[in-house]
Amino acid sequence: MSAVSANLRVMMMFGVLTAIFVAIGWAVGTFFFGNWVMGAIVFLILAGVMNFVSYFFSSKIVLRSYRAKVVNEAEAPRLYRIVRQISTTSGLPMPTVAIVPSMNPNAFATGRNPQNATVAATEGILQLLNDDELTGVLAHEMAHVKNRDMLVMTVAATLAGAISFAARSFMWGSLFGGGDRDNGNLIIMLIIAITAPIAAMLVQLAVSRSREYHADYEGAMMIGRPMSLANALRKLEAGNKARPMQMGNPSSSSLFIVNPFTRGGLSSLFSTHPPMAERIRRLEDLAGGMRR
């Protein structure tokens, strides 16, 4: 898929999320204020404000929520050295490097563009992986930096979370609060309130999963060793199940290389990440193709 078509698809997904948010505004305005135009406009403005905040401040919010500490080369020589090697190989600016005080083995990148990026690794992943595996993981994160996926996934998570909150508030307000209870559109509005969070979640999943596959591929090609990442993913899958993240917000799980809040079972069907077995299979196929 070309960069242009990928960007067009992302813009369409954001358009769908914004439309869902505005639809909730229509329902709120019609039911509570008798003016659907006002509700739609207010929620459209809110969507714009949230996108603005996400663009300029999401990186700081995410780093603060996980208590990430920015480190220099003297404080984290191994991590800093590997990130610098990948940065040099890929031709990307050297990002800020941070460590998250958690034994959950994971890593993520954040920032609105390559010039303002931060690559963060947890204490757990630094202990679990060897240098070759850690290089594969950090190359994956640098691929996210290159493609500006951090901004895309953060904005998608922000809008999806806002839609879920607004829809839930409207539903409970319409059932137990005020509003025009005789309005003939009440059933339609309740349907919107129930289905909007599901639709928003599916759009977010589509954004996140496609970006993860692409970052796996680009990260592997950056270092020329797909099996480095494949081996790391095997360890990370087991490590995250054994030591799930105990802080932060599940709405930001799409930023991590492996979902840190995964509990397995039915919830895995709605994970922000692709199936691990499929990710590993694709990397193994890529490695086989490179050997031929």
**What is residue 112's predicted lDDT score, i.e. its pLDDT?**
79
- What is d(CA 83, CA 267) in angstroms, rounded to the nearest whole number? 33
**What is residue 274's predicted lDDT score, i.e. its pLDDT?**
85
pLDDT tens for the chain, 292 residues: list them. 444 555 566 667 667 767 777 777 776 666 666 665 666 677 777 767 776 776 677 778 888 889 999 999 999 999 999 999 999 999 999 999 999 999 999 999 988 788 989 999 999 999 999 999 999 999 999 999 988 877 677 666 666 666 766 666 666 655 555 555 555 555 666 666 677 667 666 766 766 777 889 899 999 999 999 999 999 999 999 999 889 888 877 767 778 999 888 655 444 555 678 889 999 999 999 998 887 7
**What is residue 205's predicted lDDT score, i.e. its pLDDT?**
72
Other CB atoms closer than 10 Å to residue 249's CB: what's the count? 14
**Domain count for the chain:** 1
The strand pairing partners of 110, in sequence order, are: 118
Q: Burial, 250: exposed, middle or buried (Cβ in 10 Å; 0-12, 13-18, 19+)? A: middle
Which stretch of DSSP H or E encloses residue 96?
Answer: strand 96-100
Angle between helix axes 226-242 and 276-291 (nearest 10 degrees) is: 160
Q: Which domain holds residue 75?
A: 3-291
Closest CA to 116 of 164, 58, 174: 58
| Beta carbons of 13 and 207 less than 8 angstroms apart | yes
Spot the catalytic one: 73, 75, 133, 141.
141
The torsion angles phi and psi of 218, rounded to 5 degrees, stand at: -65, -40
Which stretch of DSSP H or E encloses residue 98?
Answer: strand 96-100
Asked about 278 being catalytic, the answer comes back as no
3-state percent breakdown (helix, strand, coil) of the chain, nearest 5: 75, 5, 20
**What is residue 218's predicted lDDT score, i.e. its pLDDT?**
93
- What is d(CA 99, CA 176) in angstroms, rounded to the nearest whole number? 46
**What is residue 77's predicted lDDT score, i.e. its pLDDT?**
96
**What is residue 172's predicted lDDT score, i.e. its pLDDT?**
61
| Two structure tokens written together for 45 | 């403005």
